[in-house]
Copies of this chain bind each other. A is one copy, B any other.
Amino acid sequence: MFNYETVKAKDVEDSWASNVKVRWLITKDMGAPNFAMRLFEVTPGGFSPLHTHPWEHEVFILEGEGVLFDGETATPFKRNDVVFVAPDEWHQFKNAGKQTLKFLCLIPHPKK
C-alpha cells in the first residue's frame, strides 16, 4: 500500500483539457484484472474535455468542488459526492471552486 502522492501526477495531454493532472494508482500492469483507479487533480478554472466513450466512470470527489457538464446542463458537485457516468454519456468535469479539485475516477480496462 502507498500514499497516492507517491505516484507521479502526469499532465493530461489532450488539447481540449486544461490544467488537469492524473495519477494512475491501480493499473493492469500492477496485476489488477478488471479495472483501473486513477486520481485526477484539476486546478481552479481547469476542465477535462467534453467527450463520450463506450465505457463508464465511477467517480468519488475527494476534495474541492466543481460541475459536471453534459453538453446542456451543468450539475454541481463537491467533496464526498459520488458520480456515475454511464457508457456513452457526454461528460466534462470542471473545477468551479477556489481550491484544487481532486477525485477518483475508475474505469474498466479496455476490452480486446
User: Which of these, B1, B77, B87, contacts A82 with CB under 8 Å?
Assistant: B1
A58 to B107, CA, bound (A): 12
Residues from chain B with a CB closer than 8 A to the CB of A80 are 3-5
Residues from chain B with a CB closer than 8 A to the CB of A1 are 68, 75, 77, 81-84
CB of A2 within 8 A of chain B?
yes
A7 to B30, CA, bound (A): 31
Chain A contact patch, size range: 20 to 34
| Residue contact B35 to A82, C-beta cutoff 8 Å | no
CB of A106 within 8 A of chain B?
yes
| Residue contact B81 to A26, C-beta cutoff 8 Å | no
Residues from chain B with a CB closer than 8 A to the CB of A2 are 81-82
